[in-house]
Amino acid sequence: MASPSTRPADGSVTLRGLRKTFAHTVAVDGIDLDVADGEFFAMLGPSGSGKTTVLRMIAGFEQPTDGDVLLGGADVTRVPPHRRDVTTVFQDYALFPHMTLRENVEYGLRTRKVTRTERRRRADEALAMVRLDHLAARKPAQLSGGQRQRIALARSLAVRPKVLLLDEPLGALDLKLREQMQVELKAIQREVGITFIFVTHDQDEALTLCDRLAVFNNGRIEQVGPARAVYEEPVNRFVAGFVGTSNILSGEVAQQVVGRSGTWAVRPEKITVLGDAPAPAGATVREATVTEVVYAGASTRVLADVGAVTLTLTSLNTGEVRDIERGDRIRLAWTSEALHELTDAPSEDETHADTRTDRDTKEITS
């Protein structure tokens, strides 16, 4: 098994001024990014935001229009993929159906001219790491989706790369298996200690897995930081709305609901349903009318009008939320610490649009 003493020393990745255009389309527009050695880093964003194109430029499958890619401080911008010390795990796994699992895992070592004895040893170590060594003689068609995903991971780990790139590798799995693989991926990354760069459009997946993340939008990075910092302190409305759920309140709505001018994000879990309990000292209290109640097993989703805004509250089926019904009058409370001011203030037209969006869709969870 690869250990910190046997893995390559520097898996840092540096991108400077990275830009990629396809005909008249700008896919990546001037990216600067530093990923530290041994970090589990996520590139998060909607489809078409540029994250997969950046991953492919790190791997060498795409050449930048402008800018540089450095691996361990060395410029690899024009180095072909097979000469970069990185491997990639794809969503479709790309396993050879006619080979056994062991032969699939050995394949990358064979192309690197590793001896037969060493290939077998390292392949068996990688199979044991993903807990599939007992199935080494089987073919991919005999495996479940989750097992095939683990074989693809073992094949990449067997070559002991400096950087492992993962392009939405869990996207084809069902929810339960995806959640299980998230836990396993994080444990494996911690064990082998190499740099993982993980591309996903799933915000929960990024927050669960990564040490830090970059939020992509329209070919640019909106924010980079530890997962908790990006969630708690989004820099703008896009990040606040894409990473988790937020109420984004501005203009007259902000003045009415939070009592402040400007543009504010209020994270769902920062709101409390008071019932008959007194409000915390210094808290803002607003009355609301329940317009819809949606039971969802462990939690209940409640839509409630607060003046001009409809807020959505989601809570465990306990306490005050459990017995709420349509038409009920409820009291909501939050402290000043619940409010996070955003830097991109809207124009007058955008303020009106935000007000309509808040009325229809914005969510607060307690």
Residue 188's pLDDT is: 86
Rounded to 10 deg, the angle between the 116-129 and 101-111 helix axes is 130
The answer to whether residue 85 scores a pLDDT higher than 80 is: yes
Cα(309)–Cα(54) distance, integer angstroms: 39
Is residue 261 helix, strand or coil?
A: coil
The answer to whether residue 228 scores a pLDDT higher than 70 is: yes
For residues 329 and 298, the model is more confident at 329
Q: What are phi and psi of 153, to 5 degrees?
A: -65, -45
Q: Which residues contact 229 (CB under 8 A, 6 or more apart)?
A: none
- pLDDT band per the 50, 70, 90 thresholds, residue 10: confident
DSSP classification of residue 133: G
Residue 37's pLDDT is: 94
- pLDDT band per the 50, 70, 90 thresholds, residue 251: confident
The answer to whether residue 309 scores a pLDDT higher than 90 is: no
The answer to whether residue 355 scores a pLDDT higher than 70 is: no
Residue 317's pLDDT is: 65
Mean pLDDT for the chain?
84
56-60, 196-200, 353-357, 362-366: range with lowest mean pLDDT: 353-357
For residues 230 and 93, the model is more confident at 230
Bridge partners (DSSP) of residue 200 are 44
Write out the two tokens for 109: 């070592």
Residue 9's pLDDT is: 55
The answer to whether residue 267 scores a pLDDT higher than 90 is: no
Residue 320's pLDDT is: 66
The answer to whether residue 7 scores a pLDDT higher than 50 is: no
| Cβ neighbours of 51 (radius 10 Å) | 29
The answer to whether residue 120 scores a pLDDT higher than 80 is: yes
The strand ranges marked E within 145-194 are 163-167
pLDDT tens track for 195-227: 999 999 999 889 989 999 999 999 999 999 999
The answer to whether residue 364 scores a pLDDT higher than 50 is: no
Residue 234's pLDDT is: 94
| Cβ neighbours of 72 (radius 10 Å) | 17
- pLDDT band per the 50, 70, 90 thresholds, residue 318: low
In this structure, the strands spanning 272-273 and 309-316 are unpaired
Cα(245)–Cα(251) distance, integer angstroms: 20
What are the chain's domains?
13-232 (3.40.50.300), 245-361 (2.40.50.100)
Amino acid identity for residue 219 in this structure = G
pLDDT tens track for 132-180: 889 999 999 998 888 888 888 888 888 889 999 998 887 767 778 788 8
For residues 101 and 364, the model is more confident at 101
Looking at mean pLDDT, say which of 81-85, 243-247, 250-254, 342-346 comes out highest.
Answer: 81-85
| Cβ neighbours of 256 (radius 10 Å) | 15
Cα(214)–Cα(227) distance, integer angstroms: 9
The answer to whether residue 354 scores a pLDDT higher than 50 is: no
